Amino acid sequence: MTGLSLRLLGPMEVRVVDTVVTGLEGTKAGALLAYLAMAGDEAVPRGRLAALFWPDLGDTAARNNLRQTLYQLRRRLAVPALGDAHVLHLGRDAVRIDSDTALQVDALALHPPPSCCGVTPRSHACRAALGAMQAAVTGYRGPFLAGFSAEALPAPVLDWLVGWREAARETAAATLDRLVACLTGAGAPERAAEPVRAYLAAEPLDERAHRLLMGILLRAERFDEAIAQYDHLAGLLRRELDVDPAAETVALCERARARREQHRLAAEDAPENTLERRPVTAVGVHFRPGGDGDPEARAAHVAAASRAVKAIAGHYGGLAVHTHGGRMMIYFGVPAAKDATTLQAVRAAWRVAGESFEGGGVRVAVDARQLITDASPELPDPCGELSDAVLDLASRAPEGGCLVTDDVRTRIEPYFDLSVVESAPDASGLHRLVRDRQLMDRVSVDRWFGRLSPLVGREEELEALRGAWSSACEGGGGSVAVEAEPGLGKTRLAGALAGEVHAGGGVVLWLRSHPETRRQPLAPVTAALRGQLAAHAEGEPEPDWREEMRAFLAESPGLYADSEAAPAGAAGVASATRRRDRLIGRFMAVIRGIAARTPVLVVLEDLHWSDATTVILIRRLRREFAQGRVMLLITARPGTVYPWRQEDPVARVELGHLSPAAGERLIESLAPPQMPGGVRRRIRQLGNGVPLFIEELVRHYVATGEDGAVPATLQDLLAARLEALGPARGLARLAATLGRVFEREVLAAVSTLDGDELDDGLLHLSECGLIEPDVDEVAGRHRFRHPLIREAVYASQPDGERRAAHAAIAEVLAERFPGVGETDPGVMAHHLAESGQAGASLPWRIDAGYRMLARAAHREAEDHFNDALAVAEALPEGEERRDRLVNILLGLGLARLAREGNGSRDVHAILQRARGLHGSGSDPRRHFLVLWAEWQTSGSQSGFSEAQYLAGEMLRLADACDDRCMRIAGYNALISGHFSLGELETALECIEHIRALYRDEDHPRLMEMLGDNPAFSGLSFGPVILWHLGEPDRGLALADEMVGLAERADHLPGQAYALTARALLAQCRDDPEAVQADAERILAIANAQEYALWQRAGWALSGWVQARTGDAAGIDLIERTAGEIRQVAYSVSTTVYRLLLDALLRCDRLERAGEVLEQALADVEYLGNVRFLPELYAQRAEIAYRRDGDRHALAEDLALSEATAETQGAIMAVLAVHVRRVELDLPVVPGTDPRAGLAAVLERVPGRGDYGLLHRAEALAQGVEPARGYGAGR
C-alpha cells in the first residue's frame, strides 16, 4: 500500500513512502495538496477546487489551471518507490487521495482532550489519555501551514487556512490546559513542563502558556527558573508587540521573588542540635580556574564562581560551605531537617554544572549518606568523610558535567536521563546527568496506614472481599490476596472486613507477621491463638476446640511458649518434622472445630515477613479448607512469591493510589476545620494518593502549624518531627532499639526515666502518631505504627548511642527477664551482637540455630548459623574456635540439607569443612555425626568412591562404640555405595545385616540421633537388587515388608522410600498399573510434607507410566524431573535418566534419546555409579541400530552390556541382552542359533515369574516368535 505523510502543523513537510518531497512549501500546489488531504476520504468536485483556488478566472480557465496544477502535483509526488501507482486519484468530475494510499496527517490527529482525563489519574485509561494529550501537544509544531502567505493564496483558500489555523491553535491550547490541570491534580505538575515548553516553541507569544510554565516552576521551588521565564517573556513581548506582560503575569513573578527570599532566609535560620545521625545529600563543586596567568585574576575568578554557587545553593535550600582551591560543598538536610530532598540537591548541582563561569570550568558531583553531625552551619560534616568523598568524585567529573552515586541515582532516576560512567577509573556505581526530564513525582519512602484512620476510596475492594466472605460462609472456602505497596492500606482494608465478620458472629484469627518474628516459627499463630483464649468471656460454655488451642500453645515454639532446651549438635533434629506436623495438625483441628460452629476468617498480615513454618501452615490450610466455611485473607507486597503452585486459584485485590476525590475525603476526615485550602492542596499533591502519607502530612501540620513547605518525603517528615519531640526523642530511639513491638516493663527497666516521665513520654509518642497500643491489646505492650517508622527512628541514632542501648537491653534481659533468653535465645544474640559484643552473642546464636533445627524451622536456623559463622570465623585460632566452627557448620549443613537436598554443592562443601576441622575428634559419636552429615552429599558431589570411604569410617566408629543404631546407619551408607558401584551381592549382604540388626523400637532412637531412619533407606535398595540378581519374587516380598515397617513406625519418609523401591521394581517387571498406584501414594506424601526428592520421584514414575501407555506427555514430565533432580539429589539423577531413556525409546524419539544417553554416561563417569552401565550400553545399542541401522555398533554395545552385567552379577541385564539378540537374529558367533545362548542364560536365573522380561525370554527360547521392537512385552 502507498504511504503519504503530511505534517501541516508548522512548516509543511511531505513524505511519499520513504521519500521527502520538497518544493511545495508556501505554494498554491502545496495548499491544494493540503486541502485534499484534509478532506480525507472525500472526493472533492473539480468545480469546487477551481472556484476556490482561481476565483478571479472564468470556469473554463480555472478548470484548465486546476488540471495543469494537478498534473504537475501528481508528477512531483510520483517517487520511484511508487512504481506505476499514484498518490492522487484524478477522476473526471472529482479529485481525492487514492483509496490505496495510507494517509497520515498530523492536523487530523489533533483532537480535543478526552473527557476521562483528570477523573482517575491513577487508572490505566487515564494514563493512556495523558500520553495521548502529551503527544498531541508536543506534536503541535506551529500554526497550520506556517509559511503560506496571503500573497500566494487567493482569499477563499486563505479563509479556509485561517479557520483551520485557529481551530488547531485552540485545540492545542485546550489540550495543554487540560494536561497541566490533570497532572497538577495528580500531584505531578512538573511532568507538564516539557509539553508546555514544546507548545511555547510553536506559539512563543502565548502569555497564558508562559504563566503555566512559571507556575509549574514555582510549585517545584525552582524560583530562579520561574523568574528567568518571566524575563524572557517580557523581552519577547517588547520586541515583537511593544507591550508589557499582563498584571497577572507580573504578580506571579513577584511571588516567585518573594518565595526565593523566604527560602534563603529559612536556610540560614538553623537551630543548634546535639550530635545525631541525619540523612544528608551533599553536592561537591570543583571550580578550576584556567591558564597560568595573574594569581590575582585567578583568585577573582574563584571568588566570582563561589558567589554564584552560593546563590544557587540558597535558591534550592542548600547550605553552601567554602573550602579552598575553588572547592565548595552544598549540604541538604542540615542544619535543619526541612524540605531538603535529594531531588533539590541534584537540581542545584545540575544548575551549577550548566553555568558558564568566567576564567575556568566547573565539575560537580552528588552523594547521599547518613551523616553524624551536630547540624552546625559552620561544620555540618565534622568527620569529613562525605565531604571528602563527594569532592573526590567532583574532581573526576568531566568539565561542565555532574556525577551522581548509585544511591543518588535510585532516588532521582524518574526525573533525569543518566548515563553509566564506564571509562573513568574506579567508576563503578557512578552515573552522569544528561538531561532534566521533568517527569512525574513519586513517593520515595513507602508507608502504610494506622488502624484507627478512616477507610476511604476502597469501596469496590471491600465489596470484593465481602463477596468472597459470603461464598466462604456458604461452604465455598477460598483465598484472597490483597496486594499493595507499603502505605496504601492493605491492613486497613483487611481490618474493615474483619470488623464486619466479627460483628456478624464469625470468628477472626489474625496472624500478624513482623520482621522481628521471621526467625520465630509460628509466632504469628501463637499470638493469634493466645488472643482468642484471652477474649473468651467468663461464664460462656467452652467449646472443645479451645482445648486444642491450649495444647498447641503448650507445644508451640513461639516466643511466649515454654519449651525445653534443644540438645546440642544434631540431637533433637530427629523429631523436628514430626513435632512441627503435630503442631500444624492441632491448628487444623482448631479451625475444623470453629468452622463446625461458625464461619472462620484467617488473616495473614504481611506474608512477605512470615516465618517459614507459618508459611507451611498456611499452605496446608489452603489445601485442607479449599472447600468449607473458612476464608483465608492474605496481605502482601507486589512481587511476593506465594507459597503454592502458580496455577492454584487465588483471587487478587490490588490496591492502587487513592483518587484525588478519595484523597480529599481522607484529608477532610483528618484535618482541623481551620486548615487553609492551600495547605490541603499541597497535602493532596504530596500525599500522591498514599493514605499513610496523607495522614502523616496532616499530623505534621497539626503539630507545627506550618502552612509552607511541607516535607516532600516521609523520611524528611519523620526527621522534622523527631526534632520537636523533646525529652521523648530519646525514648523513641530506645523503644525502636527494642523492636517494632516492645513491652513497657522492659522499656522502663532500660530507660533512665521514672514511671511518670516514662508514661508521659509514651503518651506524647502516641499523640504524635509514632506508636500505638499493640493490636493484640496486651496490657503494657506498644508498637510503632509502621515498621518503616520504627526503622527511621532507629536509624536516627549515632552508632555509639545505638550500641549502648543494645548493651543495656541485653544486660536487663539477662538479669531481670531471663525467660526471654531461655525461650528465644535469638533475642539475646541480636542485642549482644548489635552492642558490639559479637563474641558474647555466639553461644546464644548457636543455641538459637539448634532450637530452630529442632522445630524443623530450617530457614530460621540457617540465618542464625550464618550469623554465628561470621562471628566464629573472627575468633583467634585454637580449640575453642575449632569446636565452635564444627558445631556451627554441622548445624548449618543440616539446615541447608533439609531445604536444598543432597545435590547442593554448597551444602557438601560446608559439611566437608566441618569434617576437616573436627578431624577424628575425641568424641567418636560426634565424629560419627559429622561423617553422617557429609556422607549425605558425598555421592552427589564427590562420587561413590568417596562415599564408600566415609561409610567405612562410620562403620568402624560404630564397631568401636558397639552401637547397634550406628551400625545400621553405617551399613545403610555402605549399601548405597556398593549398589552404585555394581557390587550387588555385597550390597545384599549389607541389607541382610540391617534386617538382622533392626528392631521396631530402634526407630525413635535413630530419629533422635540422626533425624532419619537409615534402616528404611538402606532396605529400599533390596527389591531392585534382587531383581537384578534374578529373584523378582523375593524382591517384591521385601518391598511389601518395607512398606509395612514404615507404616508401623508412622514414618512418612520411610514410606516414601519403600513405595519408591516397590514402584521401581514394578517398572522393571513392566507393570505400569502397580507403578502408578505407588507413584500416587508417593506424591500424596511428598505434597503433604513438602519432600522435594519424593515429589520428583513421583513425577518421574508417573511420567514413565504415561509414556508406557502411549501418552508422550509423560516424557515432558520426566524431562522436567531430570532437570530439577540434579539440584535436589544429583546421586539419583541416573535413575531418572534411565526412566527417561526408556520412555523416549518407546515413543521413538531417537535424537533426544541420544542426547540424554550422553548426559547419563557423563554422570556415571563423574559419580562412579557404574551399576547403570549395562542398561545404558544396551540403550545406546538400540539407538544406534534404530537411528542408523548400524548392526556392528549394535553388536559391540550389546556385548559390552553383557560383559559389564556379568561382572556385576546382574543376570537380568544379561538376559535382556540375549532377548534382543534373538529378536534381531544377532548371534554371538555367526552361524549359530542365538536361542541356545538365551536358554543357557535362563537356566542361570534363580527365580521365575510371569513378568515381562522373563515371560518374553521363555517364549523366545521355546521358539515362539512374538512381535519385534523395543520394549515389546518387557
Residue 1091 pLDDT exceeds 90: no
Per-residue pLDDT band for 306 (boundaries 50, 70, 90) equals: confident
Q: What is the average pLDDT score of the chain?
A: 80
Among 46-50, 444-448, 458-462, 932-936, name the one with the lowest average pLDDT: 444-448
What sections of 361-489 are H helices per DSSP? Answer: 385-396, 406-412, 459-473
State the pLDDT confidence band at 1207, using cuts at 50, 70 and 90. Answer: very high
pLDDT at 119 over 80: no
Kindly state the average pLDDT of the residues 1239-1259. 81
pLDDT above 90 (res 438)? no
How much is the pLDDT for 1225? 84
Lowest mean pLDDT among 244-248, 426-430, 493-497: 426-430
Give pLDDT, residue 688. 65
More confident residue, 1194 or 278: 1194
**How many CB atoms lie under 10 A from the CB of residue 142?**
20
Residue 541 has pLDDT above 70, yes or no: no
Map residue 534 onto helix, strand or coil. Answer: helix
Fold classified for 2-105: Arc Repressor Mutant, subunit A (1.10.10)
Per-residue model confidence (pLDDT) at position 366 = 93
What whole-number distance in Å separates Cα of residue 509 and Cα of residue 506? Answer: 10
pLDDT tens readout for residues 132-152 = 787 788 788 888 888 887 777
* pLDDT for residue 270: 38
Instruction: Kindly indicate the confidence band of residue 535, based on its pLDDT and cuts at 50, 70 and 90.
Output: low
Averaged over 545-573, what is the pLDDT? 53
Amino acid (1-letter code) at residue 299: A
Ranking 174-183, 667-676, 1066-1075, 1097-1106 by mean pLDDT, the lowest is: 667-676
What's the pLDDT at 737?
92
pLDDT tens across 871-916, in order? Answer: 888 888 888 888 889 889 888 887 777 666 666 778 878 887 887 8
pLDDT digits (tens, 9 = 90+) for 625-674: 888 899 999 998 776 767 665 545 678 888 888 888 888 888 888 887 77
For residue 290, pLDDT over 50 is answered with yes
Q: Which of 18-32, 546-560, 609-623, 972-986 has the lowest mean pLDDT?
A: 546-560
Model pLDDT, residue 130: 73
Alpha-carbon separation of residue 111 from 158, 162, 196 (angstroms): 23, 18, 17
Q: What is the pLDDT of residues 805-822, one digit of tens each?
A: 999 999 999 888 888 888
pLDDT > 90 in the chain, percent: 10
Q: Where are the beta strands (DSSP E) in 890-970?
A: none
Q: Give the SS3 label for residue 737.
A: helix
Residue 1209 has pLDDT above 60, yes or no: yes
Nearest to 270 by CA among 336, 225, 317, 184: 336
CB 613 within 8 A of CB 521: yes
- The closest of 935, 940, 929, 911 to 965, measured between CA atoms, is 929
What CA–CA distance (Å, rounded) separates 286 from 288?
Answer: 6
CATH of domain 270-436: 3.30.70.1230
Report pLDDT for 1088: 66
Residue 1116's contacts (CB-CB under 8 Å, 6 or more residues apart) are 1103
- Mean pLDDT, range 337-366, rounded to an integer: 80
Residue 569, pLDDT score: 39
The neighbour count for residue 214, using CB atoms within 10 Å, is 24
Residues in the chain: 1274
Instruction: Supply the pLDDT for residue 552.
Output: 77
Q: Can you identify the CATH homologous superfamily of domain 459-654?
A: P-loop containing nucleotide triphosphate hydrolases (3.40.50.300)
pLDDT at site 376: 64
Check residue 273 and give its pLDDT: 44
- What is the 8-class DSSP label of residue 9? B
The three grid cell numbers given for residue 254, joined into one nine-digit string = 513577584
Least confident segment among 868-877, 1011-1020, 1112-1121: 1011-1020
CA distance 431 to 418: 6
Q: Are 635 and 482 in contact (CB under 8 A)?
A: yes
Q: Is the pLDDT of residue 698 over 70?
A: yes
pLDDT number for residue 274:
58
Q: pLDDT value at position 120?
A: 40
Q: Is the pLDDT of residue 440 over 50?
A: no
Q: What is the pLDDT of residue 1168?
A: 78
Q: How many secondary structure helices (H) and strands (E) does the chain include?
A: 53, 22
Percent of the chain with pLDDT over 70: 82
| Mean pLDDT of all residues in 501-512 | 89
What value, to the nearest 5°, has the Cα angle with vertex 309 and ends 307 and 312?
A: 110
Lowest-confidence pick of 249-263, 682-696, 944-958: 682-696
Give residue 219's pLDDT: 74
Distance CA 823, CA 564 (A): 8
Question: With contact defined as beta carbons under 8 Å apart, do 575 and 1007 qualify?
Answer: yes
Q: Produce one character per residue of 299-333: b if its CB has 16 or more CB atoms within 10 Å, e if not.
A: eebbeebbebbbebbbbbbbbbbeeeebbbbbbbb
Model pLDDT, residue 439: 43
Please report the DSSP string for 471-517 in residue order: HHHTTB--EEEEE--TTS-HHHHHHHHHHHHHHTT-EEEEEE--GGG
Helix (H, G, I), strand (E, B) or coil at 1017: helix
Tens of pLDDT, residue by residue over 1121-1161, are: 888 877 666 667 888 888 889 889 888 899 998 998 998 88
Q: Can you tell me the distance from the alpha carbon of 253 to that of 171, in angstroms, rounded to the nearest whole number?
A: 28
pLDDT of residue 188: 57
CA pair distance 374, 335, nearest whole angstrom = 8
